[in-house]
Amino acid sequence: MNTPARRRKWKQRDIAPYLFIAPFFVLFLVFGVFPLGFSVWLSLHQWEPAAGMSAMRWVGLDNYMFALTDPWFHRSLWNTLWFAVVSGLPQHLVALPLAYFIQSRLKRSRNLVVGAYFIPYITSSVAIALIFATLYSKDYGVINALLQALHLPGDIDWLGDASYTKPAVAFVVFWRYLGWNIVLYLSALQIVDNDLYEAATLDDVSFWQQFWHITLPLLRPMIFFAVTLTLIGNLQLFEEPFILVDAEKGVAPSVMTSAIFMYRLAFSDGDFGTASAVSWILFLIIAALTWVNSRLFKRAEDHDVSR
Amino acid sequence: MSRAERPDTARYIAYALVAAGALLLVSPFYFTFVFATHTRSAIFDTPPPLWFGSAVLGNYDMLLERLPFWRNFGMSVYVAVMTTTLNLLLCSMGGYAFAVYEFRFKRALFALVLASMMLPAFLNMIPSFMVMQFLGWIDEPRALYVPGAAGALGIFLMRQYISSGIPKELIDAARMDACGEFRIFWSVVLPLTGPALGTLGLITFINSWNNFIAPLIVMRSAENYTLPLALRSMQSPNNTEWGTLMVGSAIAMLPLLIAFFFCARRLVAGLTAGAVRG
Amino acid sequence: MIKLVSLVITATALGLIAHSAVAQKTTVTVATFPDLDRAAKAAVPRWNALHPNVEIKIVSLQYSDHHTAMTTALATGSGLPDVMAVDLRFMGKFAEAGGFEDLLKPPFNAALLREKFVSYTIPQATNTKGELVAMPTDIGPGTLLYRKDIIEKASVTEAELTKSWESYIDAGKKIKEKTGAYLLADAADIRDIVIRSGVKDGEGLYFDRSGRVLVDSPRFERAFELGHKARQAGIDAKVVAWTNEWSTGFKQNRIATQMMGAWLAGHLKNWLAPDTTGLWRAAGLPGGTYASYGGSFYAIPKKAQHKTEAWQFIQFMTVNKETQLESLRVLDSFPALAEAHSAPMMDEPLPFLGGQKARALWRDIAARVPAIPINKYDAMATDIIRDEFENVVAKGKPVKTALADARALIERRSRR
């Protein structure tokens, strides 16, 4: 009586996970695999797309060699890594404690405050380009006016002087994605036991200790998720430098990320083959860094358990 | 006494900092609405207008003259709602499977999910167009919501959340009660994932709403453009009606704001999860 | 009364005809981008009156979105419109690619039509095989717009501005000293024009016919040196065109001159600096240079569905004098059709330019702009030259080294 029923259930349990993940893989097969294969194929060819499919010319690994030895590509990689660290790291260093603070200390104003931090993420990129150009303006900008009021040098050409352009753009990236990380951490904080906060409010000394010793370890899966997303996102950074620093501007190369380099190769140089090769090189770099990141998280976890 | 005062001061400073930060964050959003009420000449003034002007009706009229705006708006809503609904269902399923089951090739399959997020999208334009052409989906809204219906990001998010937030004992208990696998997912696990679903719904909605590359690939008539593509189509390298563009951008941001406050409620709804756990 | 009745009858009859024709109505798809789309939209009512059976469907996308979408369509040979608008910047790439009909061949036979256009536009639309792949619709004769009030305050004359590049820069120093205003927005503007002056016959801007890179020639050396000199003299405002700082510079009387296509006057009047009406004048570019800014074209893809109608529409947009003048009226876009240049409108005084009959000046400039052959790598070379110029003006890199590096980079990218 018991056995067939159990076997049936055992079987169902065996198949279930595959059924649950099937939609992703079916869609990936239909919509993802061909473009990927095409892009690998393309990276081995010289191709000006406007000339049609027949214009593809086999060049083997030439595009990869070209990219790897190209001074502009090296520069773009450096810029990309710079942005990944400078605009990425502070997002988490600020978002984590801030989310903790909001979760434990704000009650009624909570949604409003979170909303305020989240708003940059939904502000249209046209508005961002227009408004930051105004804020960063050398002669008329609010930022320089503030600096002058504080008796600091206030005639900085933020978006026109190569030594300031990068930090100026990095700030916008930080500004835009901070709230997004706060929301991620807030959603994860919901499952951290609520009693913790009530206990914590009793004694302010232990407030941040609680955060450090109890909350942070519990948040680890979400931190891993959020950091991975930032890593992947920042290594593909395109929009913010692209809209803030006009490609016609002389300083544009100082914020040329690898994604922008790829875009220029494809749409300005008409060299889709090399652009594809660059995208695969970039993919390998992102994958490697993500792997390292996951190792680091894994090791920290093991360390915790052994303790 | 002094011990009681100190944390108070610290708290006020913290509040002030949070508020000042929030103000800095909101200003571009605010200026979108202010600029929407000015002519482009005024927007390009120095200093730019800080308060609302009177050109909003003129801007709005021109918006309707240049674009089938509300039709584009409707298209955006349709695509974003479809994408979000599909993602909420399919990603929580996928994330659940990766979080609680042990099965063959699990690690490799999950690595594939992750890897699919790392590929730059815009070089796929030409092959993606070919796929859509092959399927006959050119100029069809389904070409916008079906391919991304089970996004990798969502699966990743749900996996992380379920693996840290849903106790395994709960699932085992449900199994003891002879629940089917889908039933366990649907009636036991899903109700506990409120905060994650809220976050996922929000991300998916926003990403779909702001996406212009996918519609650029498939949409071939102005009535079928989604909002970002339509608004971009008013931009000229040297003659953009900024005021009109700002009215469009401001209206386009409102649904996102609504989506946020709708989902923000979910972010606290998950408190029950903690209760179950305790 | 009778008139009214007959009108009604005619209207009804026309309605009937239109109705019976619905079945065989053709739709011509025109893929375009702003502001060019507005020229087409403005022309549609007149087109409909002439061709009730051919409906025009205008599909407009943002400038770069449009050219990206068209690249995709040409690559895959599907989803192509009947009429494709192409900006000059993309003509080099698209013309060589072979995706367009040769308009010199039957049934188009545009050989005779070529004579009707401002002469420099035809080589821009002709590829290395000698095929005419597109028809020009608007042009941008290069002009120097200057603020009469500011230069007078500095006791500088128009002749000083235009005589030579050296005197242009010297005038700038005087203007800066006496009025505090900058001579121009960006020193790079000087570079862009000087590289266009004295291009030898048959040479392109960056490449000669055989594809040899020309960027270390004296033409570029001079352009870089003059631009550098202007930057060092502190007479450029270091602002990029089409930003709010640029517009503010004009509104607050801080920029005295601007070199640009003639259509800039319209934008200044409409929104960039509407309060400066009457204060501007137009002149030729300094140093007797003749150059043009941009230009738009219409082409027929080889895989278009309705080529006959598409060709009719292109002719309606490009060789129809009335359409060309309408675009001038609505958009300030300067006609490519030479015939339109003799219209009375061209001799009207322009109030924004203090009543100057500037269109006549621009017409003369247009007639003297040399024909410079295009190359598919022009856009890439432009990027590299821009970057190396920045190295010179911002980091003090020697001009010769910068140009040698530019040459190496361009060769590396074009000789593959």
Write the pLDDT tens digit of every residue in A32-76.
889 999 999 999 999 888 888 888 899 999 999 999 999 999 999
Q: Name which of C66, C72, C246, C250 to mutate to probe chain B: the one with the most chain B Cβ atoms within 10 A of its Cβ.
A: C72
Q: Is residue C248 part of a domain?
A: yes
Query: What percent of chain B shows pLDDT beyond 90?
Result: 46
CB A284 within 8 A of CB A64: no
Is the pLDDT at A234 greater than 80? The verdict is yes
Neighbours of chain A (3+ CB pairs under 8 A): B, C
Q: At what angle do helices B242-269 and A110-122 cross, to 10 degrees?
A: 140
Q: Is residue C3 part of a domain?
A: no
Mean residue pLDDT across chain B = 85
pLDDT for residue B177:
81
Is the pLDDT at B270 greater than 50? The verdict is no
What is the extent of the structural domain holding C100? Answer: 25-140+294-347
Q: Name which of C57, C60, C303 to mutate to probe chain B: the one with the most chain B Cβ atoms within 10 A of its Cβ.
A: C60
Is the pLDDT at B229 greater than 80? The verdict is yes
Nearest chain B CA: its distance from C375 CA (Å): 22
Tokens of B146: 């079906």
Q: What is the radius of gyration, based on Cα positions, of chain B? A: 23
Nearest chain A CA: its distance from C22 CA (Å): 36
Nearest chain C CA: its distance from A148 CA (Å): 19
Residues A161-190: what's their mean pLDDT?
90
pLDDT for residue C14:
46
B41 neighbourhood in chain C, CB within 8 Å:
271-272, 274
Q: Is residue C304 part of a domain?
A: yes
C62 neighbourhood in chain B, CB within 8 Å:
232-236
Residue A307: pLDDT band with limits 50, 70, 90: very low
Dist. CA A210–CA A199, nearest whole Å: 9
First to last CA, chain B: 36
Q: What is the radius of gyration, based on Cα positions, of chain C? A: 23
Q: Is C79 on the interface with B (CB under 8 A)?
A: yes
A132 neighbourhood in chain B, CB within 8 Å:
28
Task: Examine the domain organization and report whether C342 and C410 are in the same domain.
Answer: no
What parts of chain C have a pLDDT lower than 70? 1-23, 416
Neighbours of chain C (3+ CB pairs under 8 A): A, B
Task: Examine the domain organization and report whether C163 and C237 are in the same domain.
Answer: yes
Q: Do A252 and C387 touch (CB under 8 A)?
A: yes
Q: Is B143 on the interface with A (CB under 8 A)?
A: no
Write the pLDDT tens digit of every residue in C319-373.
999 999 999 998 889 999 999 999 999 999 999 999 999 999 999 999 999 988 8
Residue A207: pLDDT band with limits 50, 70, 90: confident
Task: Examine the domain organization and report whether C211 and C335 are in the same domain.
Answer: no
Residue A197: pLDDT band with limits 50, 70, 90: low
Residue A306: pLDDT band with limits 50, 70, 90: very low
pLDDT for residue B70:
96
Q: Is residue C15 part of a domain?
A: no
Nearest chain C CA: its distance from A176 CA (Å): 22
pLDDT for residue B7:
60
Closest residue in A to C375 (Cα) is A269
Q: Is C247 on the interface with B (CB under 8 A)?
A: yes
- Angle A269-A272-A276 (CA atoms, 0-180°, nearest 5)? 130
Q: Looking at the partner chain, which of A122, A178, A220 has a beta carbon nearest the beta carbon of B206?
A: A122
- For chain B, strand residue ranges (E) read none
A65-306 to CATH, choices 1.10.3720.10, 1.10.1270.20, 3.90.1150.10, 3.30.870.10: 1.10.3720.10
Nearest chain C CA: its distance from B4 CA (Å): 52
CB B149 within 8 A of CB B87: yes
CB C83 within 8 A of CB C29: yes
Q: Do A49 and C98 touch (CB under 8 A)?
A: no
Mean residue pLDDT across chain A = 84
- Which CATH number covers residue C35? 3.40.190.10
Residues A9-18: what's their mean pLDDT?
78
C245 neighbourhood in chain A, CB within 8 Å:
133, 137-140
Per mean pLDDT, which range of A241-255, B217-231, C88-102 is the poorest? A241-255
pLDDT for residue C173:
96
Nearest chain B CA: its distance from C259 CA (Å): 14
Q: Is residue C12 part of a domain?
A: no
Q: Do B46 and A140 touch (CB under 8 A)?
A: yes
Nearest chain B CA: its distance from C353 CA (Å): 19
Dist. CA B203–CA A187, nearest whole Å: 13
Closest residue in A to B3 (Cα) is A204
Q: Do B45 and C271 touch (CB under 8 A)?
A: no
Residue B45: pLDDT band with limits 50, 70, 90: confident
Question: Strand pairing partners for C283?
Answer: C144
CB A183 within 8 A of CB B202: yes
CB A64 within 8 A of CB A281: yes
Window 93-132 of B: residues touching A by CB (8 A cutoff) are 93-94, 96-98, 101, 103, 106, 109, 112-120, 122-124, 126-128, 130-131
Q: Do C416 and A50 touch (CB under 8 A)?
A: no
Window 10-69 of A: residues touching B by CB (8 A cutoff) are 12-14, 16-18, 20-21, 23-25, 27-28, 30-32, 34-36, 38-39, 49
Nearest chain A CA: its distance from B60 CA (Å): 17
Dist. CA C78–CA C76, nearest whole Å: 5
Say which residue the tokens 């482009």 belong to. Answer: B40
Closest residue in C to B237 (Cα) is C63
Write the pLDDT tens digit of every residue in B50-73.
899 899 999 999 999 999 999 999
Nearest chain A CA: its distance from C17 CA (Å): 42
Q: Is residue C2 part of a domain?
A: no
Q: Do C62 and B235 touch (CB under 8 A)?
A: yes
Per domain, the residue ranges of chain B are: 70-233
Q: Is A157 on the interface with C (CB under 8 A)?
A: yes
pLDDT for residue A1:
41
Q: Do B126 and C248 touch (CB under 8 A)?
A: no
Q: Do C35 and B236 touch (CB under 8 A)?
A: yes
Contacts of C355 (CB under 8 A, 6+ apart): C278, C349
pLDDT for residue C4:
45
Write the pLDDT tens digit of every residue in B85-122.
999 999 999 999 999 999 989 999 999 999 888 876 66
DSSP per-residue codes, B124-171 = GHHHHHHHHHHHT-TT-THHHHSTTTT-HHHHHHHHHHHHHHS-HHHH
Task: Examine the domain organization and report whether C218 and C191 are in the same domain.
Answer: yes
Task: Examine the domain organization and report whether C330 and C358 are in the same domain.
Answer: no
Q: Is residue C257 part of a domain?
A: yes
Task: Examine the domain organization and report whether C98 and C211 are in the same domain.
Answer: no
Is the pLDDT at A201 greater than 90? The verdict is no
Per residue, the 3-state secondary structure of chain C, as one string, reads: CHHHHHHHHHHHHHHHHHHHHHHHCEEEEEEECCCHHHHHHHHHHHHHHHCCCEEEEEEECCHHHHHHHHHHHHHHCCCCCCEEEEEHHHHHHHHHHCCECCCCCCCCCCCCHHHHECCCHHHHCECCCCCECCEEEEEEEEEEEEEHHHHHHCCCCHHHHHCCHHHHHHHHHHHHHHHCCECECCCHHHHHHHCCCCCCCCCCCCECCCCCECCCCHHHHHHHHHHHHHHHCCCECCCCCCCHHHHHHHHCCCECEEEEECCHHHHHHHHHCHHHCCCEEEECCHHHCCCEEEEEEEECECCCCCHHHHHHHHHHHHCCHHHHHHHHHHHCCEECEHHHHHCHHHHCCEHHHCCECHHHHHHHHHHHCCCCCCCCCHHHHHHHHHHHHHHHHHHCCCHHHHHHHHHHHHHHHHCC
pTM of the model: 0.88
C75 neighbourhood in chain B, CB within 8 Å:
126
Contacts of B6 (CB under 8 A, 6+ apart): none
Question: What is this model's ipTM?
Answer: 0.84
Task: Examine the domain organization and report whether C399 and C259 are in the same domain.
Answer: yes
Q: Do B43 and A130 touch (CB under 8 A)?
A: yes
Per domain, the residue ranges of chain A are: 65-306
pLDDT for residue B1:
41
Q: Do A162 and C394 touch (CB under 8 A)?
A: yes
Per mean pLDDT, which range of A61-65, A284-288, B251-255, C22-26 is the poorest? C22-26
Nearest to A197 by CA among C307, A72, A79, A186: A186
Residues A124-135: what's their mean pLDDT?
83
pLDDT for residue A226:
92
pLDDT for residue A298:
81
Q: Name which of B233, B240, B249 to mutate to probe chain C: the one with the most chain C Cβ atoms within 10 A of its Cβ.
A: B233
Task: Pick the last residue of a domain from C314, C330, C347.
Answer: C347
B70-233 to CATH, choices 1.10.150.20, 3.30.2350.10, 3.40.50.720, 1.10.3720.10: 1.10.3720.10
